[in-house]
Structure 1
Amino acid sequence: MFVFEDIITMDDRSVQRFLRECNPRDLVLALKGSNNDVAHKIFSNMSSRMAQSIRDDLDITTNVRIRDVEEAQQRIVSVIRDLEEKNELIIIKGGKDEIIA
């Protein structure tokens, strides 16, 4: 079962691919409740302009309900799953799949 924190296991191209499909507001809410590793993985795979915009929004977004954070994270996970079903990105599942780059 893929969860939001599993983004850190994804390759950079896959992260870049799903970021193009995500609502920026969902990214802000999801990052509000994420750990530094996930945030670093996401920020390192977006343009500096978009990263700065998301960081600015994170700074001004306060008093967020945990339910809203979890729902945003679920929407992002749904985007990732949809893209995987369409074979537009790869989720590595516990070493079962071998990848040839």
Structure 2
Amino acid sequence: MADIFNIMENRSGEKILLSLSKTSPEETECIKGLMFTFEDLSRLRPEALTRILAQLDKDILPIALKGATKEQKNVFYRIMSDRAIRLLQDNMEALGSVRLRDVEKAKAEIVFLAKEMNENGEIELDPEENEMVIE
């Protein structure tokens, strides 16, 4: 069920979850816990985000970040060079106004790619926070 919500437009999914929470609050929390959203990308290791961006169509990220919070943008900016950040910001500015549904679709494409890469063993979506990493 969480996978269904992951592929839905954000507004539609939120409405259904809100309605479901009134009748089944425990199940709603369980579903939310299983979902992987655009906001969850901030929990990924920088290497995983870099791999996602390498496979992502270059036109998707500017649209997705057009409707993102400053914190969400910074998740991506932290792994980019200053030149790449400026180019991305210029692309976002050049887009002008973007429909909310296009922003949500772009975010969903990034999440879908992340989940697909996780299934293929290319990245980990839920790395252990206390897990020691040796580089």
What range describes the TM-score normalised by the shorter chain of this pair? Answer: 0.7 to 0.9
Give the structure with the higher percent helix.
2
Q: Identity of counterpart residues, as a percentage?
A: 27
Check if 1:20 corresponds to 2:20: no
Unaligned 5+ residue runs, structure 2?
1-34
Q: Structure 2 length as normaliser, TM-score? A: 0.67
Residue aligned with 2:126, SS: coil
Q: Structure 1 length as normaliser, TM-score? A: 0.87
RMSD: 1.7
Divergent runs of 4+, >4 A: none
Which residue is 1:55 aligned to? 89
Unaligned 5+ residue runs, structure 1?
none
Q: Which has the larger radius of gyration?
A: 2
Would the aligned equivalents of 1:14 and 1:89 in 2 still touch at CA under 8 Å?
A: yes
For 1:50 and 1:69, locate their aligned partners in 2 and report how far apart those are by CA, in whole Å.
20
